[in-house]
Amino acid sequence: MPLDPQVEALLAPAPEGFEMTSLPIDVLRKYVRESSTAYPKLDVPLGGVVDRAIPGPGGPLPIRIYTPTGKAPFPIVVYFHGGGWVVGDLDTQDMICRGLCHGASSVVVSVDYRLAPEHQFPAAIEDAQAATLWAAAQAAQIGGDARRLSVAGDSAGANLSAAVALRTRDEGGPDLRAQILIYGSCNYPSERTPSADAFASGPILTDAAIAYFWKQFLANPEVDQNHPWASPARAADHRGLAPAFVASAELDPTRDDGERYAEKLLRAGVPTESRRYPGMPHGFVSWVGLVDQAQRCIDDASAFLRRWNA
């Protein structure tokens, strides 16, 4: 299927052949932040949004807490933003967090984890795990229910969510109700896939960008790529993991890796719902409010969370 017309219109102003990762990191971060926050905030009713910092492995860890309307206690979703572990912050995926908060009637705790290359693997995973443990311990103080705790993320954030799901299973909890994995590869790209070949030049995410982000994230790729926190697909055992919602974009070089992870979870007996969104490139859910399929993905993920939180 060709690129969705709504996405094509949004991408039209970009210069042909533009490769974001050719920019210096500080410029790249500024570019991603400005382009991500160029649209009005997603207009959904919320009970409140507050920024704060919690203790983290590397010092104070910024988070943003989204509270839905209604009566507490609510389910909790700990959210990790995308950006190749290199770019992104509490604002770049604000729209997704608002969508999930409203759609799933859940407190969403968005985490501003440490970024590479200043903080390489496993810093982001350590921050993600710390935030998840904090949300479970402080559930009552944030209007949440620790018994209904989930993790979610897009792209690199989906990989972090999958890693936290492995860690919480292996390290004595907390128990997770669900993991929401939005176009996360969950695997280092050491093998070519049909989608990697078909969409090596994008749209949006390219082979060059994928290689760039992994190079910034892993200090020792030859060794680190096999660590299950970096490549959750390579974990020795996937049995007993939290139920998973796996969203993939049709026109995405990482599509096949993400869908193969869903298949691996299913074979391990993990309740898994895998959905591919036609005509969509990597990153499309950040256009929720502008692209119909982005809203559909939020709706599907929210329905999955509501089902497992019932």
The ranges assigned to domains in the chain are 5-309
C-alpha 150/C-alpha 263 separation (Å) is 20
Q: What is the DSSP letter of 82?
A: -
Phi-psi region of 283 (alpha: psi -120 to 50; beta: other; left: phi over 0): left
Which residues does the annotation mark as catalytic?
155, 252, 282
C-alpha 271/C-alpha 246 separation (Å) is 11
pLDDT (average), residues 124-141: 98
Reference 101, options 180, 192, 10, 210; nearest CA is 180
C-alpha 14/C-alpha 20 separation (Å) is 11
State pLDDT tens for residues 269-305: 999 999 999 999 999 999 999 999 999 999 999 999 9
Instruction: Kindly report whether the global pTM for this prediction surpasses the value 0.95.
Output: yes
Helix 123-137 to helix 156-170 angle, to the nearest 10 degrees?
Answer: 60
Give, for 80, the enclosing helix (H) or strand (E): strand 74-80
Structure tokens at 130: 């710390």
Give, for 278, the enclosing helix (H) or strand (E): strand 272-281
| Phi then psi dihedrals of residue 80, to 5 deg | -120, 120
Mean pLDDT value across the chain: 97
CATH of 5-309, one of 3.90.78.10, 3.40.50.1820, 3.40.50.720, 3.30.460.10: 3.40.50.1820
State pLDDT tens for residues 232-269: 999 999 999 999 999 999 999 999 999 999 999 999 99
Bond prior to 203 in cis (omega within 30° of 0): yes
